[in-house]
Each structure stands twice: as structure tokens, then as C-alpha cells.
Amino acid sequence: MSMDLFEALRSDRTPLFLAPQAGVSESPFRRLCRRFGADVVVSEFVSADGIVRGNPRSDRYLRFDEAERPIGIQIFGSDPVMMADAAAYVSEVYAPDFVDVNFGCPVKKIVKRNGGSGCLRDLGLVERIVRAVVDATPLPVTTKIRSGFDEPSRDPVGIALRCQEAGSRMVTLHPRTRTDMYSGVARWDEIRALVEALDVPVVGNGDVSTGDDARRMRDETGCHGVMIARGSHGNPWIFRDARAALDGRPVPPPPDIRERFAVCLEHARNAIRYGGRDPEVAAREFRKHLGWYTKGMPGGRAFRSELFQVNSLEEIEARIAGYLERVEEGSLEPVG
């Protein structure tokens, strides 16, 4: 299976990746995105520390369905030995198609301990981590990076070359620095520079919010794959649209309200049942998705304040049924 992935990256197909996203790219959402055309999915980042210590929550992050393949499990941490142990365990117990190392996470709590993009302050450490992980697993190892820690240390090509030298078989670049967080625009010219400098495939990431953006990213950078994070929120259809655009076909019309809710409800049912969580907690965690699915709908703002109070699947179903009735009656203000 992983052969297929690396072959696909070398072909003209330009595989589409659902990005690793904490609290979003969980198994039910990954399955949905695969169905809508994501070719590859990546788990949310999982702490190497948590894996090695047998944190019971790790299993929920690490489990996946066969239908999700090809899938990468993403791990983060700043200790090469711990990262190696975590990679070995994940490979043996979960057997994903590849292991991805996170060097991009900008969250303070993680950076402080040198995890995620914190590693970008010490490229020797980046290299030691990648080597340790490569030595510990028979699976292909890949890396996901930002362009640097801050503006003075901005050096996407230098960072990516270190990853490649250490054995990374693919590099995904989100061309912002840690200091940028999500501000400004992603510098796609840096993706192009990576494509020119590396021997391994480069996956471009950052600011793809429509199907046509995916095509533009490929055309402007020559990247071997395109990864989408925020553009997938409430919108797994983006993968269908991106595939059409990449293939030079017209992008299909957006789904109507009924289709959006059918998919939203399927997602809600699977997400709330998933992973043995308290259903009330799971329903509350799903509120963010409800907000995303209803973006731009008539009367959406008022409806969202209703949805942000739900505590169960039944309530979600009832609120949506009520909304659809109001749509049929034509009693909604046409504002998002």
C-alpha cells in the first residue's frame, strides 16, 4: 500500500492529503474525506511521550479503519530516543502506511518543550530525531515542517535538506514560520524552492481553500501532492472539487443544504460513537463541526447559536430537522 503512495507521488496524479489536525482529523472525519476524494490521510499529532507511557487516550488517536489507507500516523516530541520508541510501537501495533514526524506545531505548550516547530531552533536535533525514527521502524518515515522558527531563521530548503539527509522519504511544507502562526499568506514560492532542491517528493500545504486553489498550487509550485487542512472544515467536498480542478474538469456545483446536513449528520453519528468517549463530551466537541457545516447558510448565525448549546446526538438531529422545516416553509432570513 505504501508503495502505491510513493508511486502516486512520482506520477502525474498529484495525490490529495487530508492534513493532520488535532481535534479534527479523527478517524470518522478521515473516512469521510477519503470517500470524497482525499487520497491519503494523516492522523492528528500524537505525543511520543504519551505513546511510550501508555496514555490510554493515545489509542483513540492511533486507531484507524482499513478503509482509511493509505494513512500516516504523526508523532511529535523532542527526545530522539522517545520518538524512536514511539515509532517502533506504532509501527508494530497499528501498522500505518508511514510514520510522519511533526516539526510544525506552533502551540506554545508544545514548543516550550521543544516539540513541533520548537525543534526548528536546532536543526541538529531535527536530524537526530529523524534518524532515530528511521532506524526504529521498517515503515517509510516522512516529515512535516514549517519554513523556520522565526523570520531570521527562515530556511525551508535548509530544514528540508536536513530531513532528507536523515532519511525522510517525503517532506510536507507549510510555508509560514512558527512566529507567523497563521497570519499573512503561505509563501508558495518556498514550496517551489523545495521541489527544486529535494530528491524526495514534496507535498505543498497552506491556504488551499477551494478546489481551484489546489490546481493553482500544483501549477505554480510543481509539488507532488497537495495537503488541505482548514479548507476541509465542514467541507469534505473540497477533495472532490480539487480532484476535478487538478484533472482539468469543471468544479462541481456546491452541495445543497440537504446534502450538507446528510453528510454532517453522518459525521456526527460516527464521531459521537467513536472512541468510547462520554457521548455528552463527544457531542460538545462536535459543536465546532456544526458551526463549520452551517457557514453561509440562510439564518446561519442564529442557527449556530442554537447548535452551540447541544449536548447530544438526538439534540443535533432535532435542531437540524427543525431548521430544515423552516427552510421548507421559507421562513428564514437569507443571511449567513
Residues forming the site for ligand FMN (CB under 6 A): 19-24, 44-45, 74, 102, 104-105, 144, 174, 205-208, 228-231
Q: Give the closest residue to 278 by CA, choosing from 82, 105, 39, 60.
A: 60
Element (H, E) at 165: helix 156-165
Other CB atoms within 10 A of residue 123 CB: 18
Q: What are the backbone dihedrals phi and psi of residue 332, each rounded to the nearest 5 degrees, phi first? A: -110, 140
Residue written as grid cell 484533472: 247
* Choice between 97 and 207, CB closer to ligand FMN: 207
Residues 305, 323 contacting (CB under 8 angstroms) = no
Give yes or no for a contact between 148 and 105, defined as CB atoms under 8 angstroms apart.
no
CB nearer ligand FMN, residue 123 or residue 228: 228
CB of 127 to ligand FMN, least distance (A): 19
Residue with smaller CB distance to ligand FMN, 36 or 45? 45
CA 118 → CA 84, 102, 115, 185, 210, distances in Å? 18, 10, 5, 21, 30
| Integer Cα distance of 170 and 199 in angstroms | 9
Q: How far is the CB of 217 from ligand FMN (least distance, A)?
A: 10
- C-alpha cell recorded at residue 28: 470518522
Compare residues 14 and 205 and give the one whose CB is closer to ligand FMN: 205
Q: In terms of CB distance, is 233 or 304 closer to ligand FMN?
A: 233
**How far apart (Å, rounded) are the C-alpha atoms in residues 2 and 8?**
10
> CA-to-CA distance for 23 and 27, rounded, in angstroms?
10
What torsion do the CA atoms of 106, 109, 112, 114 make, to the nearest 10 degrees?
-60
> Which of 33, 105, 223, 264 is flagged as catalytic?
105
Is 223 labeled as catalytic in the residue annotation? Answer: no
Residue 234 has, within 13 A of its CA and on its CB side, a CA count of 16
* In the complex, minimum distance from the CB of residue 21 to ligand FMN, in angstroms, rounded to a whole number: 4
**In the bound complex, what is the minimum distance in angstroms from residue 231's beta carbon to ligand FMN?**
5
Nearest-approach distance from CB 68 to ligand FMN, in angstroms:
16
199 burial level (CB within 10 Å; 0-12, 13-18, 19+): exposed
Asked whether the beta carbons of 111 and 118 are under 8 A apart, the reply is yes
Measured from the CB of residue 141, what is the shortest distance to ligand FMN in angstroms?
14
Supply the residues annotated as catalytic. 105
